[in-house]
Amino acid sequence: MVGPTNPAIVNIAERLWGVPVPSAPTEPVLRAEARVDLDAIRANVQRLRAAAPTAEVMAVVKAEGYGHGLLPSALAAKDAGASWLGVAILDEALALRDSGVEGRILAWLAAPGERWSDAIRADIDVSVSSTWALDEVSSAAETTGRPARVHLKVDTGLGRNGATPNDWPALVQSAAKAQADGTIDLAGLWSHLAYADEPRHPTITAQVAVFRQALVVAEDAGLDPEVRHLANSAATLTLPEAHFDLVRPGIAVYGVSPGVAVGTPEQLGLTPAMTLAARFVAVKRVPAGQGVSYGHQYVTTAETTLGLVPLGYADGIPRNATNVGPVLAAGRRRTIAGRVCMDQFVLDLDGDDVAAGDEVLLFGPGTNGEPTAEDWALATGTIGYEIVTRIGARVPRVYVGESG
């Protein structure tokens, strides 16, 4: 077992135990890594800005930058001209502030008893969808002695967060009173699309119409928001009528397509930013008829070589990638052989010359023949968002293009 590395802990342990305590290696062994190209993130943000030239861009960096890293992704996006950052939960926004990130940040998913006062003190915009949240925000503003910057969210048809059209007028009236009382500044009015990844879906037109009507209701109540925003990645790229004052691209910032019907990253002018790589930790010859991994869901048909890859479902590799997950190894596309385990999976290398330490590419931009996140999504019945976001914390992120 590797001992503690904090010098204070080492010193205390040596005094208590009377023996030296070994320190951890300063350079960890990289069995696997997620390489994140920050220049790709910058290029993608520039592409998104070009797609919505009349609107500001909010780069969404929630969920650790969709698995790419919260702070590096945020800084790269701002380098490329994103004037806002968006996160789901307040802790993410506060972490950005604690790291010295300036400018506008919106956090939109709150629970009763949220740290509203901390948000106000940190100059973070917050979203409100109901009167209970507005009351809590207003109370926090009174406590801190400064108004909260609030975005009111209307549910235009997604059926998720946001005030329904029936509840919207009451929320708007309450917000107008709070603004008159000096507890809030209305920074935005917003909503979210249900089918933007299917650009011709009839719900899109319907939601835009409901949103426009919600804006009229707010205007009639005397509210004049700084920004109105509706568009996610897909809408930013394909629906100019949904751009309004601000667009909120998320997955496209990282070069992953928001949907098959929208187009491939290449068609959309996006560059995938993450490459997931590993190294074989074992290679061995086995005979025909050898069962592979738990349950022997794969059995070799001839004498062959098996390679062990140290990534599993604890690292975010889908367990249902069993016998279908694509990789690039020894210059060829391969498919996972047998069940994906918690920490590892196996490849049948067809007798090719491979050694422990050789690299395996699970996904990346696809420029070297490796699969893409979209290929993994297709193989496992999910979306590219999930493939990149689920890569776990024990897979180190290695950044390139950091100079900006």
By annotation, the residues acting in catalysis are 62, 294
* Closest alpha carbon to 118 in 102, 134, 95, 101: 95
Residue with tokens 């809030």: 184
Phi-psi label, residue 63: left if phi above 0, alpha if psi -120 to 50, beta otherwise: left
- Token pair belonging to 375: 């290929």
CA atoms of 311 and 346, how far apart (whole Å)? 10
* Cβ neighbours of 333 (radius 10 Å): 13
* Secondary structure of the chain in HEC code, one letter for each residue: CCCCCCHHHHHHHHHHHCCCCCCCCCCCCCCEEEEEEHHHHHHHHHHHHHHCCCCEEEEECHHHHHCCCHHHHHHHHHHCCCCEEEECCHHHHHHHHHCCCCCEEEECCCCCCCCHHHHHHCCCEEEECCHHHHHHHHHHHHHHCCCEEEEEEECCCCCCCCECCCCHHHHHHHHHHHHHHCCEEEEEEECCCCCCCCCCCHHHHHHHHHHHHHHHHHHHCCCCCCEEEEECHHHHHHCHHHCCCEECCCHHHHCCCCCCCCCCHHHHCCCCCEEEEEECCEEEEECCCCEECHHHCEECCCCEEEEEECCCHHHCCCHHHCCCCEEEECCEEEEECCCCCCCCEEEECCCCCCCCCCEEEEECCCCCCCCCHHHHHHHHCCCHHHHHHCCCCCCCEEEECCCC
Tell me the backbone φ, ψ of residue 141, rounded to 5 degrees: -65, -40
For 216, residues 6+ apart whose C-beta sits below 8 A from its C-beta are none
**β-strands 56-60, 246-247: how paired?**
parallel
